[in-house]
Structure 1
Amino acid sequence: MHWSLMEVLQVIFQVGLVIVPHIGYVVQCIVIHRTRSFDGYAPLVSLILLTSNTLRIFYYIGHRYLLALFIQAVVGVPVHGGLLWKILEVHWWELLHGQSAGVYNESDAVISDTPSEQASAEAAKVFSAPGSAGAKRDPTAESQDDAAPLPHTEGIPVQQAASSSDAHHTIGVVENVSTSQPRLSCIAAVTDPLLRFLFRIEDCLEACFLRHTGLQFLCTYLLAAVTSLLVILLYYVSISIFWEDAPVVVGYMALTIEALLVLPQILRNARRSSTKGLTVLLVLTWACGDVAKVVYFIYAKQSLPFIVCGCFQILLDIVVVAQFIFYRFIRKRDGELCVEGEGVADRRYREAAIMAL
C-alpha cells in the first residue's frame, strides 16, 4: 500500500488535531500542581470544554463527522476532568491552610476580598487613624513643614519648578485629557454594566463549582452526562423521523458552548489586570490551534458548525493575545520606566545636595 505525500500529511495533521490541543492544558495542570495556585487560570474554561466535548461525543452518535475530531473530544473529557479535579484539590488545600485566593460568600455566591486585600484595607485604616504615623496632618502645618528647609540642606539653591515649555506642555496634556474625558465616560457607561453583569455570572458559576470536592464533582458530572445522553437519544429517535438534520442542533449547541471557552479567561485577565499564572504555551495553543483548525475545516469541507465556531474562537484568541502582550510587556515596561525615572530624579537630588554641602 503506497500513500501519497498529501495522504501522509493529512494523517499527521489529524494525529496532531487529536493531541496538540490538549498539551497546553496538561502543562497548565502541571503548573497548578507545582505552584499550588490556579489564580491565573479560569476554571470555567475547562468546565466549558468538558461540557462541549461531552456534547460533541453525543453529536457523533447522530452525525458522523471527522473521526479525529471525535477522538479529540473523547481525549478531552479526561484531560479537563483531571484539570478540574486538580483545581478543586488545590482550592481545598488552600482553604485548609488559610491561603485561599478567593473567599466566597455562600449567600449570594460572590467573590469577596482576598485575605491579602482585607489585610491591606485594615492596614490603611490603621495608618489613617488619628494619632497614627500615617494620619492626615493639618494643612497649615503641612504647608509650614514644606516651606521649612530640610536638615543639613540649608543653603542649597532651589531649582525652578518647571520651565515655560514644560508649563505649556502640561497645559496641553490637561486640555487633551479634558476633551477625551466625555468620550471615555460614554464608553464606560456602556461597558461597565456589561462587565459587571459578566463578572457576576463568572463569580456565581465559579463559586458553585468550588463548593464541590473532587468526588462530588465527578458524581455530578456523570449524573448530568447520563441524563443528557438519554434526552439526546430520545430527541434523535423522535425528531429524526420528521427532520433529517436534527442532530445538527446538538452540534451547534456543543460548538456554541466551546466557542465561549476563552471568554472566562478574558474576564479573569481584565479583573486581575494581569496574566500571571497563565502559561505561554496555553495561549499559543489557543491561537495557533484555532487558526490551523479553521483552515483544515475549510479544506476538508467539514460541517458548518465547526467552521463558525472556529472563526469566533479566533476573534476571542486575538483578545487574549492582546491582553497577554499588554500585561506582560507594555505595562511592565512602563512600570520599569517610571521606577527608573524616579530613581534618576532621586539620584540627581542627592548629587545636588552633596555638591552644595
Structure 2
Amino acid sequence: MDPQVVVPEEETGASWMLLSWLASSVMIFGGSLPYVPQYQEIQRSNNTEGFSTRVCLVLLIANILRIFFWIGKQFEMTLLLQSVVMIVTMFAMLHLCCNIQNTNRVSTKQHRLSDLDPHYFWKWNAFEDYPLFCFGLSILCALLTMMLLDSALFVEMLGSLAVFFEAMLGLPQLLQNFQNHSTKGMSVKMVLLWMAGDLFKTTYFLINSSPSQFWVCGSVQIVIDVAILLQVIFYGKDTRMKLG
C-alpha cells in the first residue's frame, strides 16, 4: 500500500487564504462587471433608451446607505470596498449616458437639479448634478448617523434600507422594458452577469454568516433577474411574430 500523503498544514492554510482572497476580489469587483457590456452597448449604439439610469440611482442610494451602515455595524471590509467600487462604476455609467443624451438632444432646454422640478428628477442634462445629489444625500446620512449612532434600531434600519434598495436594483430596468415593450438596447449579458453575481454573493453571504439583510436582498434580486430574462424571451418572441 502506498504511504498516506500528508499535506503540510502551512500549505493548506495558504491555499485557503488564496481562495479567500480570490472570493473577496470577486465580491469587490464582480458587482461592477455586468455594466461593462452595457457600457459598450451604449457606446456602440450611441443610444441610452434601452438602459434605465434609475438603476444607477437605486445602486447609488443603496451603497451610500451601506457605507453608513458599516460605520454603525462593522461587517466585512470586502462589502465596504464593494460599495466604493460600485459608486465609481455608477458615476461612470451616468457620465456616459449624459454625454450621449446631450449629443443626441434636439431641444436646447436644460434640465438641472437646481430647477427642483420633480418631473425631471434623475433626468438632468448635466453630469455634475448627479454627484451633487449624492453628496447632499451623504451629508444628510452623516448628520443622522452622528446623532443616532448609539441607537441599534437606527443602525439596523440603515442596513435594512440599504439592502431594500439594492434588492430593487433590477426593478427600474424591468419597468422600462415593460414600458418600451422591448428589451432592445439593454445588454442581456448585463442581466446574465447580474444573475451569476447574485447567485455567488447570496451564497457568499450565507457561508460567511453576513447580516440576514444581505442574503435576503440577494434572493430578491435573483427573482427580479429571472423576470427580466423572461422579458427578453417574451419580447423577442413578440418581435419575431411581428416581423413574420
Distance 1:307 1:335 in 2: 41
Equivalences for residues 65-144 of structure 1 within 5 A? 65-95=75-105, 97=106
Corresponding position of 2:35: 25
Report 1:202-351 matches (<5 A): 204=119, 207-236=120-149, 240=150, 243-244=151-152, 246-328=154-236, 330-336=237-243, 339=244
Letter in 2 for 1:235: L
* TM-superposed deviation, 1:6: 3.9
Distance 2:240 2:124 in 1: 39
SS at match of 1:22: coil
Deviation at 1:4, TM superposition (A): 4.8
In 1, are the aligned partners of 2:63 and 2:87 still within 8 Å (CA)? Answer: yes
Number of positions where the alignment pairs a residue of Structure 1 with one of Structure 2: 228
CA distance in 2, matches of 1:213, 1:8: 44
Larger radius of gyration: 1
Give the TM-score normalised by structure 1: 0.59
The answer to whether the 8 Å contact 2:50/2:186 transfers is yes
2:143 and 2:224 map into 1 onto residues whose CA distance is 33
Q: Is the 8 A contact 2:65 2:158 kept in 1?
A: yes
> What is the Cα deviation at residue 245 of structure 1?
5.5
Contact (CA 8 Å) 1:40, 1:276: kept in 2 or not? yes
* Aligned positions of 1:193-208 closer than 5 A: 204=119, 207-208=120-121
Task: Report the counterpart of residue 47 of structure 2 in structure 1.
Answer: 37
How far is 1:314 from its partner?
Answer: 1.2
**C-alpha separation between the residues in 2 aligned to 1:302 and 1:48?**
22
**Alignment of 1:59 onto 2:69:** yes
SS in 2 for 1:59: helix
Q: 1:324 to 1:227 in 2, by over 3 A?
A: same
Give the counterpart letter for 1:51 in structure 2.
I
CA distance in 2, matches of 1:222, 1:246: 21
2:219 & 2:50 partners in 1: Cα distance? Answer: 25
Letter in 1 for 2:133: T
Contact 2:59–2:169 (8 Å) recurs in 1: yes
C-alpha distance in 2 between matches for 1:277 and 1:58: 34
Judged with a 3 Å threshold, the aligned counterparts in structure 2 of structure 1 residues 218 and 244 are, in CA distance, closer, same or farther, namely closer
SS in 2 for 1:257: helix
1:83 counterpart letter in structure 2? M
Deviation at 1:334, TM superposition (A): 3.1
Whole-angstrom distance in 2 between the partners of 1:38 and 1:212: 13
Aligned to 1:46, what secondary structure does the other structure show?
Answer: helix
Work out whether residues 252 and 305 of structure 1, in 8 Å CA contact, stay in contact via their aligned partners in 2: yes
Give the drift of 1:34.
3.3
Query: Is the 1:91–1:210 contact (alpha carbons within 8 Å) kept by the matching residues of 2?
Result: no
Q: Is the 8 A contact 2:60 2:134 kept in 1?
A: no
Q: Distance in 2 between matches of 1:24 and 1:61?
A: 28
What's the offset of the Cα at 1:19? 1.1
Whether the 8 Å CA contact 1:269–1:323 is kept in 2: the answer is: yes
Query: 1:62 & 1:35 partners in 2: Cα distance?
Result: 43
In the alignment, is the contact (CA less than 8 A) between 2:182 and 2:235 conserved in 1? yes
* Cα deviation 1:15-67 (Å, max 9, x = unaligned): 11111210121332232233221111001001100111111111111111122
Question: What's the counterpart of residue 179 of structure 1?
Answer: none
In structure 1, what is the equivalent of residue 59 of structure 2?
A: 49
Aligned equivalents of 1:33, 1:78: Cα separation in 2: 18
Distance, in Å, in 2 between the alignment partners of 1:246 and 1:40 is 37
**Is the alpha carbon distance of 1:64 and 1:333 closer, same or farther for their aligned partners in structure 2, counting shifts above 3 Å?**
same
Identity of aligned residues (%): 27
Which residues of structure 2 form unaligned runs of 5+? Answer: 1-9, 108-114
Alignment TM-score, normalising by the size of structure 2: 0.85
